Structure 1
């Protein structure tokens, strides 16, 4: 059987399944959900992050994980960690004008607006399903195997909520721009970087202008608040 991306004793077969190199048995990395709806047989629900299915998790599972996953390695100001859930929720403030500009410029059809908002709201979803918010510069070091695992989980999240597995290029570019805008704002308000450091090639290399607290206040929310708000927005966008 042809083998590829062999790493840590695992390889991906031609169908995309991760297997143990010594036995060829499918590999499993279980994420067991806490407090979620149990299966009818009473057993806890689990997601194999190496072979994910869109039927193996609930909205609440992603919301809980995102609300407890810190950005910036947890090294931020405030009584609470600034969570990925809050990052996604507050990012809508910056997404909306950028989306309207893209629609006006005919880069994105107006009919796609709701799904673009949903794609933004879910674009870090894999970080709520056990795959963590990694510091950006370390991602290339983790390599293609890590990226493939994250991408596969992200794709099944998209499928579950009616989005294309791979987002259209115009959507992805818009989301990336908005992500850099709020990243710059978080760096300034929460993570202790100066605006010069944010833009420096030797530090964050982010050319976006950070928003100050009078424009977008990023004071961290308690996890329960972040979870509730992120989940409420998801249900509005899906419903």
Structure 2
């Protein structure tokens, strides 16, 4: 960035983050968890009383990635899955995928800077062709399932209108972990708590503190 352009946000921790020039030290884990829990997928639309948070989606993708892996994922690989949408929690915005190309190169560059700061802070390993392909499958299966159970798209609409090539799941992959009503979006405080617990657990395991 050049000049004096700034886009400050004040975080719950009282830290402040310049979205146009983020650094890895600008937020704490609680800020990220709450930001993801208060950022909603599907444009905030839901057939439930609450919309679905990116925090809950991230935990779903982690669970699916674990289930589809041929061998157990390393803590670093699991952290990469959990944090795949972490930039949205700092930005407070999750654009639906077909809209993103219309937001222009500036939005793409903004997201890339946030992703870069997150990668540095959490020492996230780079994707390779295989890990990216496996992640995309888990992410798209999660999307198909959310479209059906959370938003209310039909199975035919998911295939023909949303162009998602994967079948939605019937069973909620988070059900066996957290119980509750399958596919029901969680309140923000609960989503933040569960995301933060998973994040701290993976950081401890990766760093050998368990």
Same fold (TM over 0.5): yes
Render the CA deviation track for 1:146-183: whole Å, top value 9, x for unaligned.
Answer: 1111011012112111114x433332222211110100
Alignment of 1:1-239 (within 5 A): 18-19=1-2, 25-34=3-12, 36=13, 44-99=14-69, 101=70, 103=71, 113-164=74-125, 166-200=126-160, 203-213=161-171, 217-239=182-204
Aligned pairs, number: 197
How does the TM-score come out when normalised to structure 1?
A: 0.77
The runs of 5 or more residues in structure 1 that have no matched partner are 1-17, 20-24, 37-43, 104-109
Structure 2: how far apart are the matches of 1:234 and 1:162?
13
Contact between 2:172 and 2:183, CA under 8 Å: does it hold in 1?
Answer: no
CA contact (8 A) 1:67 1:223 kept: yes
Distance 2:5 2:139 in 1: 33
Match of 1:9 in 2: none
Q: Which one has a bigger Cα radius of gyration? A: 1
Tell me the residue number matched to 2:179.
none
Q: Which runs of 5+ in 2 are unaligned?
A: 176-181, 205-210
Structure with higher helix content: 2
For the aligned residues, what is the CA RMSD?
1.7
Alpha-carbon distance change, 214 to 53 in structure 1, aligned in 2, over 3 angstroms: closer
1:169-205 per-position Cα deviation (integer Å, ceiling 9, x unaligned)? 33222221111010000000011111111111xx110
Could you say if the C-alpha distance between residues 33 and 142 of structure 1 is closer, same or farther in structure 2, counting changes exceeding 3 Å? Answer: same
Q: Which has the higher contact order (CA 8 A, sep 6+)?
A: 2
How far, CA to CA, are the matches of 1:66 and 1:45 in structure 2?
A: 17
Taking structure 2 as the reference length, the TM-score comes to 0.87
Structure 2 residue matching 1:129: 3-state secondary structure: helix
How far apart are the structure 2 equivalents of 1:80 and 1:214?
A: 17
Whether the aligned pair in 2 keeps the contact of 1:131 and 1:150 (CA below 8 Å) is no
